[in-house]
Amino acid sequence: MTSGPPATPGASAPATSTPGAPPGDAAAPDASTPDASGATVPARSAARPRRLRRWLSSAWFLIPALVLFALFVLLPIAIAGYAAFFRWGGFGPPSEFVGLDNFTRMAGDPIFRGDLWRGLVLVLLSLVLQLPLAVGTAVLLNGRMRGRAVYRMVFFAPYVLSEVVTGVLFGMIFLPGGGLADHLVEDLPLLGGLAGRWFSDPSTAMPTLFLVMTWKYFGFHMMLYLAGLQSIPGEVLEAASIDGAGAWRRFRHIVLPLLGPTLRISVFLSVIGSIQLFDLVWVITAGGPSHSTETMSITMFQYGFKRYQVGYASAISVAMFAISLVFSLLYQRYVLHRDLRGAVTAPGAPR
Amino acid sequence: MGIASPSRRSFLSAASAGALVAATGPLLGACGNDGGSGAGGKVTLEFWNIATTEPQKTQYPKVVQAFQAANPNVTVRMTALENEAYKAKMTAQTTSGKLPDIFVSWGGGVLKQQVEAGLVEDLTRRAADLSATLNPLSMEAYRFDGRLYGIPYDMGMVGFWYNKRLFAKAGVKQPPATWSAFLDAVRRLKAAGITPIALAGKEKWPGHYYWSYLAMRIGGGAVFEQAETSRDFSAPVFVDAGRRLKELADLQPFQQGYQGAGYPTPGGQAALMGTGRAAMELMGQWAPSVQEDAGGDLGADLGFFPFPTVEGGKGTLTEVFGGGNGHALRKGAPKEAMDFLRFFLNAENERMFVSSGAFMPVVKGAESAITDPNRKQVAQAMTGATGFQLFLDQAFAPAVGQQVNDSVAELIAGRATPEQVTRSITQAARTQ
Amino acid sequence: MSTAAQSTPAPAPSAPSRRPRRWTGSLARHLTVWVIGAFIVVPLGYAVLSGFKSTGDLSRDPFGLPSPWRGSNYTGILTSDTFWRQIANSAGIAIATTALTVGVSAMAAFAFARYAFRGREMFFTLFAMGLMFPFAVAVLPLFVLLRAFGLLDNPLGVVLPQAAFGLPMTIIILRGFFRTIPAELEEAATMDGCGRFGFFWRILLPMARPALGTVAVLATVTSWNNFFLPLLVLSQPRWQTIPVGVQQFQGQYATDYALVLAYIVLAMVPALAFYAVAERQLISGLTAGATKG
């Protein structure tokens, strides 16, 4: 314990003095580091075992994580990626190679296309309704207000509940005929027509699901904005209000631009979240009625666990993974770009 | 899985609050190997079932304990899962190639797939003595190419359960025997302000009964066998069945919000029947007990009539659509597993299961234990049946069966045409 | 953000000169917050109150206070072994998952944050990509894999994959934190004869206690709420966790929904209690994880 890692203790001391790889260079731009250590070693042939040893002296810390990650995350992904090219009922090893058939079938599958469309609708709904609500509440709670700590705690509470509990609870609340929701609206003039529909009618199921999602997740986004708001110095706002800027103008011209990075992150998480949405929908509607609340993961699960078309289900998994990946790469490249650069140029700034 | 969508088989009888699965706790204590005949004669049997509802929930541990008392070297480890969870888990188990020693199976395409994967024990010879005592019809779902792969313990059929009082109130004198008389009855009920039919639209499988029965009544009892082997569901009989069902759906005979209704849940199909808020439901032999549990006992008001014939169709009233429950053994299961199945169906247990309303009899002659007139009627229809079709979502390979459920649900909801239904089922059958 | 909450006074919401408007403004704000609060609280309150009713009372009068108050739903569950066994299983699995996730991630984050080595960015990107892979998608191949490893019906079969899926977020948060620790500290430690591991173990980890607390709380909550993996892996009732138990209970007692509501209320209690205790860590963890990811 006291003498250090099993790798040669001598290796760590020179490493700290090598100009290419000081331990504290972490704040340097990431792109320059990979070849930095390699470039400083001139004698290639003799350096090979030494380099491995030196590599190990830093990297052995990584090994447990790598093993765990490779076995339980990468290997399943690889299995799914392999199985996607087979017609496979899940019995024994896959043997009937079908090339891209599963993917072409997916492209023509109205349910899968519908999943994409519904995912988009969920994202748009979150952007138009949930995010403004979260920003608004955050601004309200950021102000001086009696009991705001309590409110904050209450609004966030649904986020810590499990999806299963939330799903079962709202399944009961929206039960056709006997649930709380029906009793709440049945005597109201405009909403009365909703009684008995909610999750029962393809046209209202999606909005109802969105309502539940808002209940569960808006507090999380609100917390993100609160964190963002609290990093805005009070003096800036005070200065603005002394200059005579009204509440709305202060919000529009100072708060909102400064919240930019938080907004972009929040949007990002909404999108990824709706691509991966599973437990909640599975417990409440399992995708119904008439596929009106089905998501990609539900479709995947239906094929994999109910229809024994594991090959096709794997192809859907691969598609989900690819969509998430491409989206996050593009988003990071084009939208989060400046936020990330800002972080690098101002090292150590708590974000 | 959905919220509370345990499907029909878990509701062969009433579900009611009682002791938790913990009742089986003491049985689980034994060390857990994968079974197999142990060296010292000690055998542990994994027994997976769906007995999470009463009365089976208390009956099963009793049966197991009695079996263990008679066979001291055997330990039976029970795992009772709620129906949908059981199906999901069995899919995963099948994929992994390792099934429990004894497991519940409904036969048909699902079992066939497991058989083809070499995971299921052939019982043709080992169970010859037992199968001779059973009603041959009940074993049909478990037989492939003349080999028997499962032992049924419950058997029944689907038909209309109706509320005699509500029918009388609407002026429907007697249960309709033809499709047009049936539609007429629906119209009368609706005119009288009564919800004609309760339907659990959320669970899809109750909807597929209508389409299946219509196809059988139009094309005769063997239509599905032909379609399955040719992988072609585009024949006019299936389109016609869809059109007839659409005729019914266009009358809007189902309760409001039926698409979100479960079967046994509060406000669901069985509850509406049990509380007298709907006039009829198309359901299997278990319907009365679930009604009683979810809503109330209709008592003498409850009646049963077979699915009506369609004018000009080839089918007859005596061709039945239905199914039941059975057990299968994993390939290489210890011989004690077969002993357990034999014990499970011995005269004493069969009497207990049948008289408590848990199951319909599979052992020849056990019908006499039935006292309820409706259940008796079902049993008689079974013995007099001239043709039998297993539930399509069990008979077909899972991909096709699920597609039938899905497509018919869309048809009833008005989101697919009869032609689209046959097309997507055919497509599922071809890609299978 | 926790420090900010304490120290930074909030900006004044409106100009101090306009007193009457301020009063109405404040009222409007409170009203808005109350409406949102009601939206959050009513479903929860409904569940709690309904648990004190019988199902018959509940369908007759879903709003009113229970009359009479029946504790039998709650006491019945609280006196059953099953409920407590599920709580204990969930807790055990959560603790093991957390220890493993945090331990392994801390080491990896340490390497990522403080050393340059060949392939560092590649490995880091690899872990970061893990954030994109939803658990549900991997469930089927994961199941086959666990079977091959003989980890079914074994809590490890849940703990190991959960820890693996928890790595990306934990590593990202911890790496961010470890980077803020000045390099001079390690140089000083090296001069005192501390090896890398010694520095990591005896200096860095104690310093990182707040960050470790944060990620530990995150891992615990995630594990506690996980549903599908335990459902598939742990078939025996003796290993079942609370979310699986809720689903199962609901299937079994579908018709007695006051009892089901009581069950989910009791299932919520540990999560909410944990949240009340560890609110600060949880929130700072989530916001940090989000903004640093």
Average pLDDT over residues A145-151: 83
The three-point CA angle C51-C56-C62 to 5° equals 60
Out of B67-71, C39-43, C177-181, pick the least confident: C177-181
pLDDT level of residue A40 (50, 70, 90 thresholds): very low
- Within 10 angstroms of residue A35's Cβ, the number of other Cβ atoms is 12
Query: What residue numbers bound the domain in which C99 lies?
Result: 81-256+266-292
Cβ contacts of C255 on chain B, cutoff 8 Å: 15-16, 264-266, 271, 293-294
Condensed to tens digits (0 to 9), the pLDDT of residues B44-60 reads: 999 999 887 667 888 99
CB contact under 8 A, B15 and C253: yes
Condensed to tens digits (0 to 9), the pLDDT of residues C42-51 reads: 999 999 998 9
What is the residue-wise DSSP string for B313-350? Answer: -S--TTEEEEEEEEEEEBTT--HHHHHHHHHHTSHHHH
pLDDT at position B277, please?
A: 92
Same fold, B8-157+322-384 and B159-320+391-431: yes
For the cut 90, the answer to whether the pLDDT of residue C114 exceeds it is no
Average pLDDT over all residues of chain C = 82
pLDDT at position A242, please?
A: 79
Q: Where are the alpha helices (DSSP H) in B203-285?
A: 205-219, 223-230, 236-250, 269-274
Q: Which of B117, B265, B410 sits opposite A92 (nearest CB)?
A: B117
For the cut 70, the answer to whether the pLDDT of residue B158 exceeds it is yes
Q: Number of structural domains, chain C?
A: 1
Q: How far apart are the first and last CA of chain B?
A: 23
Q: Which chains would you list as touching C if contact means 3+ CB atom pairs under 8 Å? A: A, B
Question: In percent, how much of chain B has pLDDT > 90?
Answer: 47
pLDDT at position B302, please?
A: 94
Residues 197-216 of C with CB under 8 A from A: 197-198, 200-201
Q: Tell me whether residue C217 is in a domain.
A: yes
Q: Which of B1, B260, B397 sits opposite A199 (nearest CB)?
A: B260
Out of A285-294, B278-287, C73-82, C189-198, pick the least confident: C189-198
Question: In percent, how much of chain C has pLDDT > 90?
Answer: 26
Q: Which of A92, A179, A308 sits opposite B399 (nearest CB)?
A: A308
Q: Tell me whether residue C128 is in a domain.
A: yes
Inform me whether the C-beta atom of residue A117 falls under 8 Å from chain C C-beta atoms: no
CA distance C111 to A7: 14
CB contact under 8 A, B256 and A196: yes
pLDDT at position A140, please?
A: 86
Higher pLDDT, B98 or C89: C89
Q: Which of C13, C136, C201 sits opposite A301 (nearest CB)?
A: C136
CB contact under 8 A, A306 and B91: yes
pLDDT at position B329, please?
A: 96
Cβ contacts of A86 on chain B, cutoff 8 Å: none
pLDDT at position A18, please?
A: 34
For the cut 60, the answer to whether the pLDDT of residue B6 exceeds it is no
Higher pLDDT, A72 or C255: A72
pLDDT level of residue C152 (50, 70, 90 thresholds): confident
Average pLDDT over residues C29-50: 90
Give the single-character DSSP code of B389: E
Higher pLDDT, C245 or A240: C245
CB within 8 A of B42, min separation 6: which ones?
B73, B75
For the cut 80, the answer to whether the pLDDT of residue B62 exceeds it is yes
CB contact under 8 A, B22 and C252: no
pLDDT level of residue B119 (50, 70, 90 thresholds): very high
Q: Domain boundaries in chain B?
A: 8-157+322-384, 159-320+391-431
Q: Tell me whether residue C114 is in a domain.
A: yes
Residues 76-135 of C with CB under 8 A from B: 80-82, 85
Condensed to tens digits (0 to 9), the pLDDT of residues B210-224 reads: 999 999 999 998 899
Question: In percent, how much of chain A has pLDDT > 70?
Answer: 81
Higher pLDDT, C264 or C16: C264
Average pLDDT over residues B316-340: 92
Nearest CA in chain C to A150: C37
pLDDT at position B432, please?
A: 66
For the cut 80, the answer to whether the pLDDT of residue C33 exceeds it is yes
pLDDT at position A334, please?
A: 83
pLDDT at position A45, please?
A: 54
Inform me whether the C-beta atom of residue B414 falls under 8 Å from chain A C-beta atoms: no
Q: With H, G, I as helix, E, B as strand and everything else as coil, classify residue B390.
A: strand
pLDDT level of residue C137 (50, 70, 90 thresholds): low
Higher pLDDT, B302 or C13: B302
At residue B118, what are phi and psi to the nearest 5 degrees?
Answer: 75, 30
pLDDT at position B14, please?
A: 30
pLDDT at position A176, please?
A: 76
The length of chain B in residues reads 432
Cβ contacts of A314 on chain C, cutoff 8 Å: 140-141
pLDDT at position A270, please?
A: 86
| The token pair that represents C71 in the structure block | 């504790």
Q: B273 vs chain A: nearest CA distance in angstroms?
A: 14
| CATH number of the B8-157+322-384 domain | 3.40.190.10
CA distance B293 to A327: 50
CA distance B410 to B114: 29
pLDDT level of residue B185 (50, 70, 90 thresholds): very high
Average pLDDT over residues B57-73: 92
pLDDT at position B236, please?
A: 93
Query: Under CATH, what is the fold of the domain B159-320+391-431?
Result: D-Maltodextrin-Binding Protein; domain 2 (3.40.190)
Q: Which residue has the tokens 């919401």?
A: C13
pLDDT level of residue A342 (50, 70, 90 thresholds): very low
pTM: 0.80
pLDDT level of residue B421 (50, 70, 90 thresholds): very high
For the cut 80, the answer to whether the pLDDT of residue B120 exceeds it is yes
- By C-alpha distance, which of B344, B338, B367 is closest to B355? B367
Average pLDDT over all residues of chain A = 77
> Which of A96, A290, A297, A312 best tests the B interface by mutation, with the highest count of B CBs <10 A?
A290
pLDDT level of residue A37 (50, 70, 90 thresholds): very low
pLDDT level of residue A68 (50, 70, 90 thresholds): very high
CB contact under 8 A, C122 and A34: yes
Average pLDDT over residues A123-141: 90
Condensed to tens digits (0 to 9), the pLDDT of residues A284-316 reads: 888 878 889 999 989 988 888 788 888 899 899
Is residue B366 within 8 Å of residue B350, measured between CB atoms?
Answer: yes
- By C-alpha distance, which of B394, B396, B108 is closest to B224? B396
- By C-alpha distance, which of A223, A258, A247, A256 is closest to A149? A223
Domain containing C85 — which CATH number?
A: 1.10.3720.10
| CATH number of the A110-345 domain | 1.10.3720.10
pLDDT level of residue A348 (50, 70, 90 thresholds): very low
CB within 8 A of B178, min separation 6: which ones?
B308, B309, B310, B311
Q: Is the ipTM beyond the 0.85 threshold?
A: no
Condensed to tens digits (0 to 9), the pLDDT of residues A79-117 reads: 889 989 998 877 677 888 998 999 999 999 989 999 999
Q: Where in chain A is the domain with CATH 1.10.3720.10?
A: 110-345
Is residue B379 within 8 Å of residue B361, measured between CB atoms?
Answer: yes
Q: Name the most confidently modeled range: A141-145, B336-340, C129-133, C231-235.
A: B336-340
Condensed to tens digits (0 to 9), the pLDDT of residues B244-260 reads: 999 999 999 999 889 88
Q: Number of A to C CB contacts under 8 A, please give it.
A: 341
Q: Which of B4, B95, B406 sits opposite A90 (nearest CB)?
A: B95
pLDDT level of residue A6 (50, 70, 90 thresholds): very low
| The token pair that represents B426 in the structure block | 């055919």
> On the CB side of A216, how many CA atoms lie within 13 Å of its CA?
24
Average pLDDT over residues A229-252: 79
Residues 381-400 of B with CB under 8 A from A: 397-399
pLDDT at position A338, please?
A: 62
CA distance A326 to A333: 10
